[in-house]
Amino acid sequence: MTIPDELKYTATHQWVRAEADGTATVGITFHAQEQLGDVVYVQHPAVGSKVERGANCAVVESVKAASDIPAPITGEVVAINQAVVDAPERLNQDPYGAWLFRIRPREGADLGGLLDAPAYRKLVTSAG
């Protein structure tokens, strides 16, 4: 199972990458896509919408189930990945390349409360 060291993670299986422009890119982890199975639909939050850390803001549907995607940080959605809307299977093919959306963190919001790669690896392996 791939868990890139340079990313941050949530206990709900999203990855977060801090970008040079101050935004944060969000996607689902290898573990999440593996649990979901074949992804068939993605519903993004609207660009410009405000999201709160922990509040559901997107949905990923697979042949098995629909999964709510909570915002990993508080802020404003500044971009969505249209390529994933057009071809949701990209989440299965390349979960760390096929991001979902980008958030501009609200002032004071940071990635400090997220898991680093070793902590996420421990979470996933202890879950069995």
Sign of the torsion angle spanned by Cα atoms 109, 127, 26, 66: negative
Supply the pTM of this predicted model.
0.93
Please state, in angstroms and rounded to a whole number, the distance separating the CA atoms of residues 113 and 44. Answer: 23
Please state, in angstroms and rounded to a whole number, the distance separating the CA atoms of residues 100 and 55. Answer: 16
pLDDT at 127 over 80: no
pLDDT in tens, 14-54: 999 999 999 999 999 999 999 999 999 999 999 999 999 99
pLDDT in tens, 61-118: 999 889 999 999 999 999 999 999 999 999 999 999 999 999 999 887 678 889 999 9
User: Which CATH number fits the domain 8-107, given the four candidates 3.20.20.70, 2.40.50.100, 1.10.150.240, 3.20.19.10?
Assistant: 2.40.50.100
pLDDT reported for residue 80: 97
Token readout for 19 is: 């970008």
Please state, in angstroms and rounded to a whole number, the distance separating the CA atoms of residues 116 and 104. Answer: 20
Burial group, residue 123, by CB count within 10 angstroms (0-12, 13-18, 19+)? middle
